[in-house]
Amino acid sequence: MSVATIAPPPLELLAMRAPRYTSYPTALQFDERIGPDDAVRALRQSNDDWLPAPLSLYLHVPFCHSNCFYCGCHRKVTRNVERMAAYANDLARELGQRAALLDADRQTVQVHFGGGTPNHLPSADLCRVMETLHHHYAPDEQADISLEIDPRLVEGEEPALWASLGFNRISIGVQDVDDRVQRLINRVQPAEQVARCVEQCRHTGFESINFDLIYGLPAQSMQSIDATLDFVEQQRPERVAAFGYAHLPDRLRAQRAINRVWLPDATARLALRNRIEQRLLAAGYVSIGLDHYALPSDSLARAHREQSLHRNFQGYTTHAGCDVIGFGVSSISRIGDTFAQHSKSIDDYHTAIDQGLWPVVRGYRQCDDDRLREQIIMALMCDRPVDLLALGRQYGMDPNARFEPALEAIQSMAPRTQPLVVCESGVLRATPEGRPFLRLIAAQFDAFASAQRGHTNVAV
């Protein structure tokens, strides 16, 4: 069924809140009962597994050149090159410290530099960190090594330098090409500047380019989103992520510069989301999970077809079952059933690295019930069918009795003629009408959902 034939959902549904579920439980459940010793123990245990999990490394660069008002990332606006060099030095030291805990045969299949703005790090510092990473972790030849960039900061031959450091994927923040929208979010970047950056990356031979778009921004309209999608079609990145803007000015100070009255209302927001989906599907992209789109030849689209798509802190991934190791401030590791998050303070991070300590300040250890719920929630978020009967056998429970309230809650959200999910022979799957609401559907299986509702944004 095409998006156009779906009846509008009730307004209450558009106002409901739910997490983005890049983990289960979400980071809102982390606390200080988990510390550095727990992380070390989890890593040693994972070394001892009969077949140790491959590694996915995430490096957080918290610095930005300027402040985008919509941003919810952990970042610091600075142009102080000494400060950035000192941080890069700590990242390199941390790479060495963590490698000392890992068995030499651990395989690295994914590396992601996120932020903040990783390409705001001076090139010499980025080189130092990458050389250290290659020295200690020697990523697989086929590894995905990706860099988030701000196209406004790309200088000279930098894309060629990134390629020489091993990066093979680039993610570019585009958001919306309309000048008025860009001024209201304090991120003015002419489309020509982005196009130049794409051309350089293509010329250098990057395998995959991702565009991040955002809907629900101030003054955004069908016209501005259409112009943005015209630009996407011209540039044809392999992947497009279309995130809903989360307006949380009580928690995110920069967002106080955005007047609520400039924002599209709930119905307009859904219409923007649906327009993005319609146009990308018409342009030949495949929809991936909640908010991603990929060309059919892209590895994400293949994983989606083969039902092997997974989700971690960086979003959708083709690498299932990895131990994720986070480096830098605020980063989160997930090793086996243990989550461990670093301090958000650059000074505290530096002190811990100086003392040779893992800068973990909070975390969570999953129990059996969490693992069961995680399997359901992540499958739903990846738009995969959930075999409740098989899970019942695996966890020794009656799925009908256990999840009846969740299924009833989902059924009550939409008219019977257009359900958000169907459950046939014990297999649960989201319908086309349900896809925009995957977060809400998943939240019905979240044991902590009601406690964290005040900390999450609208789910569409």
Residues that bind ligand SF4 in the complex, under the rule CB under 6 A = 64, 67-68, 71, 73, 75, 115-117, 150, 173
68/276 with CB nearer ligand SF4: 68
Measured CA to CA, the distance from residue 6 to residue 417 in angstroms comes to 11
Query: CB of residue 173 vs ligand SF4: minimum separation in angstroms?
Result: 6
24 is in an annotated binding site: no
293 is in an annotated binding site: no
75/292 with CB nearer ligand SF4: 75
Q: Which of 409, 353, 289, 347 is nearest to 22 (CA)?
A: 289
322 is in an annotated binding site: no
CB 235 within 8 A of CB 193: no
What are the CA-CA distances from residue 384 to residues 84, 238, 289, 322 (Å)?
41, 22, 8, 19
The one-letter amino acid code at 210 reads N
Residues in the chain: 460
What is the DSSP pairing of strand 421-424 with strand 427-430?
Answer: antiparallel
150/383 with CB nearer ligand SF4: 150
Query: CB of residue 150 vs ligand SF4: minimum separation in angstroms?
Result: 5
Structure-token pair, residue 341:
């998050």
Q: Which of 384, 244, 368, 364 is nearest to 310 (CA)?
A: 384
CB 239 within 8 A of CB 211: yes
Measured CA to CA, the distance from residue 430 to residue 111 in angstroms comes to 31
Query: CB of residue 67 vs ligand SF4: minimum separation in angstroms?
Result: 5
Query: CB of residue 64 vs ligand SF4: minimum separation in angstroms?
Result: 3
73/219 with CB nearer ligand SF4: 73
Measured CA to CA, the distance from residue 83 to residue 87 in angstroms comes to 6
75/334 with CB nearer ligand SF4: 75
Query: CB of residue 171 vs ligand SF4: minimum separation in angstroms?
Result: 11
Report the 10 Å Cβ neighbour count for 417: 7
Collect all residues with Cβ–Cβ distance below 8 Å to 265 and sequence separation of at least 6: none
Q: Which of 271, 231, 264 is nearest to 245 (CA)?
A: 264
147/377 with CB nearer ligand SF4: 147
Query: CB of residue 87 vs ligand SF4: minimum separation in angstroms?
Result: 15
CA dihedral 128, 130, 136, 138 (to 10 degrees): -150
73 is in an annotated binding site: no
CB 264 within 8 A of CB 236: no
243/358 with CB nearer ligand SF4: 243
Measured CA to CA, the distance from residue 306 to residue 318 in angstroms comes to 10
106 is in an annotated binding site: no
Query: CB of residue 117 vs ligand SF4: minimum separation in angstroms?
Result: 5
What is the DSSP pairing of strand 315-317 with strand 310-312?
Answer: antiparallel
Query: CB of residue 103 vs ligand SF4: minimum separation in angstroms?
Result: 34
Report the 10 Å Cβ neighbour count for 141: 6
325 is in an annotated binding site: no
Structure-token pair, residue 207:
């395998």
Query: CB of residue 4 vs ligand SF4: minimum separation in angstroms?
Result: 32
71 is in an annotated binding site: yes
253/455 with CB nearer ligand SF4: 253
166 is in an annotated binding site: no
Query: CB of residue 75 vs ligand SF4: minimum separation in angstroms?
Result: 5
410 is in an annotated binding site: no
| φ and ψ of 175, to 5 deg | 65, -80
76/93 with CB nearer ligand SF4: 76
Vertex 241: Cα angle to 225 and 161 (nearest 5): 110
Measured CA to CA, the distance from residue 328 to residue 91 in angstroms comes to 6
121/388 with CB nearer ligand SF4: 121
116 is in an annotated binding site: yes
246 is in an annotated binding site: yes
b/e sequence 70-91, b meaning 16+ C-beta within 10 Å: bbbeebbeeeeeeebeebbbbb
Binding-site residue set for [4Fe-4S] cluster: 64, 68, 71
Binding-site residue set: 58, 64, 68, 70-72, 115-117, 148, 175, 187, 212, 246, 332
Binding-site residue set for S-adenosyl-L-methionine: 58, 70-72, 115-117, 148, 175, 187, 212, 246, 332
